[in-house]
Structure 1
């Protein structure tokens, strides 16, 4: 057994790098060890979506960062005990590689190890609309034990702005992986009162 929890955060080239950044912030506050893998496609997405210091922020929040090309990293072996892995965002290319076991780079190898060791693997699949190939790959990884969890906004949580949406999406994904995000997640308390998200108020007059 490890003395503290260990989680792998894989970041692929799909849109949604802010979700991974928020996950790392939450895990750091929870004192969970963070093993980060960034694909080549993600390097470009991070710069585009998070700005010139986005990559530095991600690196600073990592306990350990392994290059995508390093197939000899500890997380490439099942003997290196991890508690869970999340891929956020998960491109269709990465999802397909995981589904068909191609071992394309360290991210997909680590995901393959997570599956074979029967550990939680959560894939925040980011694509729309979906064609049959996407759906088949999602079904395949689900049957293998992964959880496909697209970053769907929880509008019932009274989201105030885009940052709030990202925070709740990240917290929900961590909870799905078995990591309690504590007060970061707004949990459903029943329909005791109407909550209209400020993000939706512009459509009230429609």
Structure 2
């Protein structure tokens, strides 16, 4: 049995495939972490469109990959110990499924398992503007203990590239799981810091 910490990284068809990819790249460098990846079919379309990246290249970044419809997968059970789940990016469809416990695929099921087991569950929604259904679904997930983390850049860092803005979001998310995110973002230390 591995003594590595396990983190489920799920990717949906919302814009922002770079967030899931970058998270996998960072965790690939951390020997103490084991990543479990699941991506939706719309996520694969977006991966190709936004990053010109094929499924095989994405899968190489993960330690373990799971099919979107593999409800018998280990990550579909609470008895399989993980540190939690990150859905990055998270579509409004997936947000709604998580908010209402509708585990119709492995992404929403893995999030449901993490929530019921009281494990950290972070959704990175990429939609704007938000309608009332989106806001209510975010509130529901928050009330269940999940974390809604829209990838909004902090301008005090004076980031000069998309990569730096993505790294800041990824670093802050991974920091919530106790991953050493040194170098990915600069924490605010006040005006004198």
Q: Number of residue pairs matched?
A: 192
- Find the counterpart in structure 1 of residue 40 from structure 2: 39
- Find the counterpart in structure 2 of residue 201 from structure 1: none
TM-score between the two structures when normalised by the length of structure 1: 0.89
Is the aligned partner of 1:95 residue 2:95? Answer: yes
Q: Secondary structure at the match of 1:184?
A: coil
Q: In the aligned structure 1, how far is the partner of 2:180 from the partner of 2:83? A: 12
Q: In the aligned structure 2, how far is the partner of 1:168 from the partner of 1:57? A: 23
8 A Cα contact 1:35 1:62, kept in partner: yes
- Find the counterpart in structure 2 of residue 58 from structure 1: 58
Is the aligned partner of 1:136 residue 2:127? Answer: no
- Find the counterpart in structure 1 of residue 149 from structure 2: 149
Give the CA RMSD over aligned residues.
Answer: 1.4
CA shift for structure 1 position 158: 2.2
Q: In the aligned structure 1, how far is the partner of 2:186 from the partner of 2:57? A: 25
8 A Cα contact 1:120 1:178, kept in partner: no
In structure 1, runs of 5+ residues without a counterpart are 194-206
Q: In the aligned structure 1, how far is the partner of 2:154 from the partner of 2:24? A: 20
- Find the counterpart in structure 2 of residue 48 from structure 1: 49
Q: In the aligned structure 2, how far is the partner of 1:152 from the partner of 1:105? A: 28
Larger radius of gyration: 1
CA shift for structure 1 position 54: 4.4
8 A Cα contact 1:99 1:141, kept in partner: yes
CA shift for structure 1 position 185: 2.5
TM-score between the two structures when normalised by the length of structure 2: 0.95
CA shift for structure 1 position 184: 2.1
